[in-house]
Amino acid sequence: MAVILREQQILGAHTDVIIFEPMVITTFKWTHPGARPMGNNTPCSIQCPECHRLKTPSPQVTTDRNKIRLQCKKCSWGDEYSIPTDFQWCKSKGQSAKDVGDRGAWLFKTEKIVSKSGQDNNSGSNMLS
């Protein structure tokens, strides 16, 4: 899946990708240092919340590869973003988490579905407990 998503940054810029399987739900989030820092949707990547200028927040690398800082180029505003809870980097063979590049990268989280005893897992109701 990581190989397929790597070429789908346009899709990721607009929505998460969710795959439903019989006992597992996998959520993929696209991340880009300036547009969607660490997979977080934030209007701050477009407009500074302090001085209200457009396109002034700039991504700054931190020592922790799972965090990024947006810093306004025109005022003192800055904020730090981390990978959302339970998400991990999608990696293709030979790729490291720091290989984000100009096109961004993908994060994923897998959740197991736990059924309540005595219920049909295909019923569509009360599948999650």
Judged against a pLDDT cut of 70, whether residue 10 lies above it is answered with no
Within-domain flag for 67: yes
Report the DSSP pairing between strands 67-72 and 78-82: antiparallel
Within-domain flag for 14: yes
Within-domain flag for 124: no
pLDDT for the residue 129: 38
pLDDT for the residue 2: 59
Domain count, the chain: 1
Alpha-helix runs per DSSP H in the chain: 2-6, 9-12
Q: Which domain holds residue 84?
A: 2-112
Within-domain flag for 118: no
What three-state secondary structure class fits 34?
A: coil
Within-domain flag for 52: yes
**Number of residues written out for the chain:** 129
Within-domain flag for 128: no
Give the tens place of pLDDT for each residue, 61-100. 888 888 889 999 999 999 999 989 999 988 755 554 455 5
Lowest mean pLDDT among 27-31, 33-37, 74-78: 33-37
Mean pLDDT of the chain: 78
Q: Which two tokens stand for residue 76?
A: 């003192």
69/100 Cα distance (integer angstroms): 15
63: left (phi over 0), alpha (psi -120 to 50) or beta: alpha
Within-domain flag for 35: yes
